[in-house]
Chain A
Amino acid sequence: MFYILALFFFTPIFISMAKITYITHENEKHTIEVQNGLTVMEGAVQNDIPGIDADCGGGMACATCHVYVKEDWFNKLLKKEDGEDDMLDMAFEPKANSRLSCQIIVSDEIDGLEVNIPSKQA
Chain B
Amino acid sequence: MNKTDALIIGAGPTGLFTAHQLKLIGLDCEIVDNLDKIGGQCIELYPDKPIYDIPAVPECTGEELTNNLISQLKPFDIKFHLSERVEEVKKEDTNWLVKTSSGNSFLTPNVIIAGGVGSFEPRKFAPKECEKYENKSLFYSVKDKNIFNGKIVSIFGGGDSALDWAIELSKNCKINLIHRRDEFRGAQATVDKMQELVKSGKINLFTKYQLANVYGDQKLESIDIKHDNNEIKNLKSDYVLGFFGLIMQLGPIANWGLNLNKKTIEVDTERFETNQKGIYAVGDICNYPGKLKLILSGFHEGALAARACFKLARPNEKYRFEFTTTSSNLLKRLGKKE
Measured between beta carbons, the chain B residues less than 8 angstroms from A61 are: 41, 45-46, 49
- Output the residue of A56, A90, A95 with the most chain B CB within 10 A: A90
Asked if A122 is an interface residue, CB under 8 A from chain B, the answer is yes
CB of A12 within 8 Å of the partner chain: no
Whole-angstrom CA separation of A59 from B49 in the bound complex: 10
Residues of B within 8 A of A53 (CB): 263
Cross-chain contact B123 with A122 (CB below 8 angstroms): yes
Interface 0/1 of A81-102, CB less than 8 Å to B: 0000110011011111000000
- Note all chain B residues with C-beta closer than 8 A to A96: 228
Q: Name the B residues within 8 Å of A86 (CB-CB).
A: 158-159, 185
Query: Once the chains bind, are B180 and A94 in contact (CB under 8 Å)?
Result: yes
- Could you tell me if A56 and B185 are in contact, using CB atoms closer than 8 angstroms? no
CB distance from A62 to the nearest CB of B (A): 7
Chain B residues 233 to 259 lying within 8 A of chain A, measured CB to CB, are 244-245, 247-249
Do B248 and A62 have beta carbons less than 8 Å apart?
A: yes
Chain B hits for A95, CB < 8 A: 228
Contact between A93 and B126, CB atoms less than 8 A apart: yes
Whether A59 and B126, one on each chain, are in contact in the complex, defined by CB atoms closer than 8 angstroms, is no
Binary per-residue interface labels of chain B (178-196) against chain A in the complex, 1 for a CB within 8 Å, 0 otherwise: 0111010100000000000
The 8 Å CB contact of A56, one of B41, B157, B179, is B41
Say yes or no: A92 contacts B126, CB within 8 Å. yes
Q: Which residue on chain B has the smallest CB distance to residue A118?
A: B126
How many angstroms between the C-alpha atoms of A93 and B211 in the bound complex?
Answer: 9
Contact A85 B126 (CB under 8 A): no
Asked if A103 is at the interface (CB within 8 A of a chain B CB), the reply is no
A112 within 8 Å of B by Cβ? no
CB pair B210 A55 closer than 8 Å: no
The complex places the Cα of A28 from the Cα of B211 at a distance, in Å, of 28
* CA distance in complex: A95, B123 (Å): 17
Asked if A37 CB lies within 8 Å of chain B CBs, one says: no
CB-defined contacts of A64 to chain B, threshold 8 Å: 247
| Bound CA span A62–B120, Å | 11
Q: Would B185 and A59 count as touching, CB distance under 8 A?
A: no
Does A93 contact B46, Cβ atoms closer than 8 Å? no
Q: How far is it, in angstroms, between the C-alpha of A53 and the C-alpha of B263 when the chains are bound?
A: 9
Complexed CA–CA distance, A85 and B183 (Å): 9
**Chain B 69-122 residues near chain A, CB threshold 8 A:** 117
**Cβ-defined contact, A122 with B126, below 8 A:** no
- Residue contact A85 to B181, C-beta cutoff 8 Å: yes
- List, in ascending order, chain A residues with CB within 8 A of B45's CB: 56, 59, 61-62
The yes or no answer to B293 lying at the interface (CB within 8 A) is: yes
CA–CA, A92 and B313, complex, Å: 45
Cα A85 to Cα B210 with chains together (Å): 15
Q: Which residues on B are within 8 Å of A, measured CB to CB?
A: 41, 45-46, 49, 117, 123-124, 126, 157-159, 179-181, 183, 185, 210, 228, 244-245, 247-249, 263, 284, 293
**Interface pairs (26), CB distance under 8 Å:** A55-B117, A55-B248, A55-B263, A56-B45, A57-B284, A59-B45, A61-B45, A61-B46, A61-B49, A62-B248, A85-B185, A86-B159, A86-B185, A89-B157, A89-B159, A89-B181, A89-B185, A90-B244, A92-B123, A93-B126, A94-B180, A94-B210, A96-B228, A120-B126, A122-B247, A122-B249
